[in-house]
Amino acid sequence: EIKYLPGKEPHPAEHRLIFKNIDREGWDTSIETYMADGGYDQLKKAVEMEPSAITDEVKKSGLRGRGGAGFPTGVKWGFIPPNNTKPVYLICNCDESEPGTFKDRYIVHQDPHQLIEGMVISAFAVGAHTAFIYMREEFPAAAIIMEKAIEEARAKGFVGKNILGTGFDLEIWVHRGAAAYICGEETGLIESLEGKRPYPRIKPPYFPAALGLYMAPTIVNNVESLCHVKHILEMGGDEYAKLGVERNTGTRILCVSGDVKKPGYYEVQVGKITMGELLNDICGGPKDGRKFKAVIPGGSSSKILRCDETFKLGRGDDAKEISFWDIQMDFDTLAACGSMAGSGGVIVLDDSRKMSWVLNNINHFYAHESCGQCTPCREGNGWMKKISDRLVTGKANPEDIKTLEEVAYQIDGKTVCAFGEASSWPVEAIIAKFRDELLEDTSEDNHYLSKEQLQREL
Ligand code: NAI
Concatenated DSSP letters of 267-302: EEETTSSBHHIIIIIIS--SPTT--EEEEEBTBTTS
The answer, yes or no, to whether any atom of ligand 1 lies below 6 A from the CB of 297, is no
Nearest to 221, CA basis, from 112, 64, 113:
64
The answer, yes or no, to whether any atom of ligand 1 lies below 6 A from the CB of 67, is yes
Q: Complex ipTM, two decimals?
A: 0.98
Torsion angle in degrees (nearest 10) through CA of 197, 144, 154, 35:
-130
pLDDT beneath 70, residues of the chain: none
> How confident is the model at residue 103, as a pLDDT?
98
CATH of 31-242, one of 3.40.250.10, 3.30.70.1380, 3.40.50.11540, 3.40.30.10: 3.40.50.11540
Continuous segment of H or E residues that includes residue 335: helix 331-336
Nearest to 136, CA basis, from 98, 89, 88, 191:
98
| Strand 292-296 with 345-350, pairing | antiparallel
* Whether the Cβ atoms of residue 154 and residue 72 lie closer than 8 Å to each other: no
The domain defined by 245-350 carries CATH number 3.30.565.10 = no
Top CATH class of 355-440 equals: mainly alpha
**Dihedrals φ, ψ of 256, to 5°?**
-105, 125
Contacts of 243 (CB under 8 A, 6+ apart): 15, 249, 250, 251, 269, 270
Tell me how far CA of residue 112 lies from CA of 105, 150, 233, 250, in angstroms: 10, 9, 18, 21
> How confident is the model at residue 456, as a pLDDT?
81
φ/ψ region of 206 (left if φ > 0, alpha if ψ in -120 to 50, else beta) reads beta
Distance, CA of 448 to CA of 157 (rounded, Å): 66
> How confident is the model at residue 447, as a pLDDT?
80
* Whether the Cβ atoms of residue 201 and residue 186 lie closer than 8 Å to each other: no
The answer, yes or no, to whether any atom of ligand 1 lies below 6 A from the CB of 344, is no
> How confident is the model at residue 101, as a pLDDT?
98
**What pLDDT digit, counting tens, does each position of 153-177 carry?**
999 999 999 999 999 999 999 999 9
Question: What's the 179 CA to ligand 1 centre distance in angstroms?
Answer: 20
Distance, CA of 158 to CA of 160 (rounded, Å): 7
Question: Which numbered atom of ligand 1 lies nearest the CA of 341?
Answer: 34
Residue with CA at minimum distance from ligand 1 atom 7: 71
Nearest to 222, CA basis, from 185, 194, 271:
185
Distance, CA of 30 to CA of 407 (rounded, Å): 51
Give me the residue spans of the domains in the chain. 31-242, 245-350, 355-440
Nearest to 34, CA basis, from 166, 153, 164, 155:
153
Q: ∠ CA 403-406-412 to the nearest 5 degrees?
A: 140
Question: What's the 170 CA to ligand 1 centre distance in angstroms?
Answer: 25
**What pLDDT digit, counting tens, does each position of 345-392 carry?**
999 999 999 999 999 999 999 999 999 999 999 999 999 999 999 999
Distance, CA of 412 to CA of 377 (rounded, Å): 9
Record the pTM: 0.97
Of 343, 366, 377, 415, which is best to mutate to test ligand 1, by the most ligand atoms within 8 angstroms of its C-beta? 343
* Whether the Cβ atoms of residue 270 and residue 252 lie closer than 8 Å to each other: yes
